[in-house]
Chain A
């Protein structure tokens, strides 16, 4: 039976820990002088991206190559997708070309869940609509553990556009399974109904969400949300909901600042905190490669 990674919703706490533990080994490879291990020798990884992406796509591609896999990329504008082929047909076509792992990003929630049951390749969800982005949350949690040593009992504040964020949903699943306390902060217009039922606290006042946090995570604000009237202006957004030095001081003194990227400087985070000593944003990127290596290795060689 092949295994997929569609979301952290589907993983147990132990499975998450297994991935994180393996990622620690993989990070040594990423940081070494000789970034080549044979674990995916002869295997093929295809990145199928229906949305623009720099870091996630590159991260998966390098992770595959560091493990000696064949890696190929498809984006929606340069393929039959643009000719109106259905998602299932596209995925089946790639499947029968000898794909072992299909990494997929799609603008629609549930798209990888549609594909996974109908193809032989293992599917990794690299972000589906507003639903999940499991490898992002895994790298976030991995980074938290590197700095804090554990997840249980940590207070994690996630600030920004909660409604449209797949990162937040995956983090909620992962962090709550591992025993963290999650607080969400952001404007009511970007806070989805009943999200507290996922076991988190909800604040419209970001200061309250940040108080005593061990981890503060900013989420990207997509600027087109303003055009839909979800907030009045970028300036007002930053004034009330942006994370700057004074707000970050409400967190614990040794708190870390995270962001999945790409950052809008001066919108969700001030430039001073992005470049400040609490920021671990660039470490997250390195850890992303390690986590994705771990996930792909485990999907092919034995499971989570």
Chain B
């Protein structure tokens, strides 16, 4: 295996960079196809075993370069017409899978009626990345974990649970940014900001393949070690029901720097209040588990009570009651509690 040291023996910086670039595809044939329609994309995915969809490229290119995926072909869906639209009707909102985070953050309809989603999109990464990143890609992005994502080029590949290995290196390692909710094996965190936002908004994901179409909830897209998409499936869009008129929405994100950084903890809350009484609530967190984490305990604590600082506090306490922090990350409990309370009561 080539290590950094071998690479440094390259005579010039350009040579070293060139070799860095080549490293992840040496000996590998990678095909590339432009799909003009959804049907063509699905046919390509069917025909080429090991093919992978690429849209904005933000996560896929990094995964490729770090040898975390090894597709035989890339199917570019970016030029498929009509997949980047945001349309509103009487029952809710339809967002095409290619709508970018910038499109979502700037959409007047989303800012007006689904403000927590606009805020989640606006908080993600940085402005230029938001111009590239699509909503479908954002939901499919891999988790954040420095063991899982360690580039192969370093010569250190952590063959962890998520990669089919025998252990999770975060358990005995540096786990300060890892999950606080036990999920079985993997302790990486969901770094998508849109995932918890869409869980709070009770959104559905439309998925197509040559076998037909299916619709799932956002929660059903995730398992603790990966997503539930089959190799020949493609997310085509997101559907969000119109929230009840008296629904208070909020998306809060704690991170170390104001931009670029993923969430240490994020909270999306949609709380329906009628004459001071909470009739419905959906609370979802990011950055705390390998999947977006919906807190049914917080929702139960809220439903049927009056919207007060006390009920918000009770929901915040309920959120973390079942948490199982690792050796270095119990500080996340305090952040999660504070954010949940603030997301509910302001």
Partners in one complex: no
